[in-house]
Structure 1
């Protein structure tokens, strides 16, 4: 998630101070990715350092406003025009957890998968309920008492639908993981059975059929 570019997009619509940026950001995304004010001001300081925003005065209460610069607008347009790269995908905690689980002895990987599936299904149900509320025109989380615009309502709906599609894909992947685990267990059992049969066949081949070796005394000539 690019907080940097999200703040630039908000400032492109007019100067704002830190708390306003935080409120507007969470209102547009339904508080899906909550920000704290410290995070906002840290990002603003970096944007100012890079020449993308500049101070734009204070109000009567001492709030420092920031405005986007022409360089900031160019950065924002480049962000909108450039596809999000998939060459370096972000780290996924669930994928890392399962990758570690299958390599660590004593971990019940099936239980990990089943527990995550239950959690993901509940999350999917929650997102679906929120989508129903959004389509019915109910206030989204983090919107406060301010009237919502058509654009912000659409933004919230798009975020919700992305979460729904992402969670549905995660559940399908978990189903695939469970199938893969079952296939791996069957393969290991088949290999173990083949090894046992080979060992038994090798032992039988070392003896001639119908004869059993019995140790005795060697005869000598007199």
Structure 2
């Protein structure tokens, strides 16, 4: 998630100070991706440095507020119209864990899959329950839809992983007698 672009998009609504930006970002995304206030401040300072945001006078004069420059408004508008490039996939701990487990000695991959399936189902039930309480909150509803669809896809993938691991184990078992017979034939031919 581009925090930079998210903050630009929020500033389209008008000037805000860093805490307001943090609050609005978290509120509009249902608190799914909490931001550290230091991250917000650093990002805003980079936006100022890059000429996309500038400081403006605050009513009370105590808190520094920020607003978009014309260049910043153009950047926010461009972000809305530019598709998100998927490029290199983000590191996913579950994928890494299962890929490594599949080739590690002494790891029960099927048990790992079962444990993960239970956790994913628990999360899916929780998000589904939360979805029923969203009311008219469109932004939070969209975030929950994404989380639910992602978990449903993860559960399908876990089914696939389980089937693939079982097939691979079966293939290894079937090859062992054939490999032994081939080795014995080779040894007999050499004798």
User: Into which bin does the TM-score normalised by the smaller protein fall?
Assistant: over 0.9
Q: Report the Cα offset of residue 199 of structure 1.
A: 4.3
1:61 Cα deviation after fit: 6.7
* CA gap 1:189/1:4 in 2 versus in 1, 3 angstroms: same
Residue 51 (structure 2) aligns with: 51
**Secondary structure in 1 aligned to 2:132?**
helix
Decide which structure has greater helix share. Answer: 2
Give 1:23's aligned residue. 23
The 3 A distance-change label for structure 1 pair 41 and 181 is same
Hey, what does 2:149 align to over in structure 1? 165
**CA distance in structure 2 between the aligned counterparts of 1:88 and 1:201, rounded to whole angstroms:** 48
Alignment of 1:135-146 (within 5 A): 137=135
Q: Distance in 2 between matches of 1:21 and 1:160?
A: 22
In structure 2, distance between residues paired with 1:202 and 1:28 = 69
- Measured after TM superposition, the shift of residue 97 of structure 1 is 1.5
Shift, 1:73, TM fit = 1.2
Secondary structure in 1 matching 2:100: helix
Match of 2:9 in 1: 9
Q: Give 1:114 deviation, angstroms.
A: 1.5
- Superposed, 1:161-200 pairs within 5 Å as 161-199=145-183
Consecutive unaligned residues in structure 2, runs of 5 or more: none
1:73-112 paired onto structure 2 within 5 Å: 73-112=73-112
Contact in 1 for aligned 2:102/2:165 (Cα 8 Å): no
- Computed over aligned residues only, the root mean square deviation of the Cα atoms, in angstroms, reads 1.9
Partner secondary structure for residue 67 of structure 2: strand
The superposition leaves residues 65-108 of structure 1 with CA deviations (integer Å, 9 ceiling, x where unpaired) of 00011111111111111111122222222111211222222222
Q: 1:200: how far off?
A: 5.2
- TM, length-normalised to structure 1: 0.80
CA 1:197–1:14: 2 relative to 1, 3 Å: same
Q: Which has the larger radius of gyration?
A: 1
Deviations 1:9-34 (A, max 9, x none): 11000000111111111111110001
State which drifts further: 56-65 or 13-22.
56-65
Output one character per residue of 1:148-178: Cα deviation in whole Å (capped at 9) or x when no partner: xx6xx11111111011001100110011000
The aligned counterpart of 2:117 is 117
Aligned length: 191
Which residue in 2 is equivalent to 1:211?
none
SS in 1 for 2:54: strand
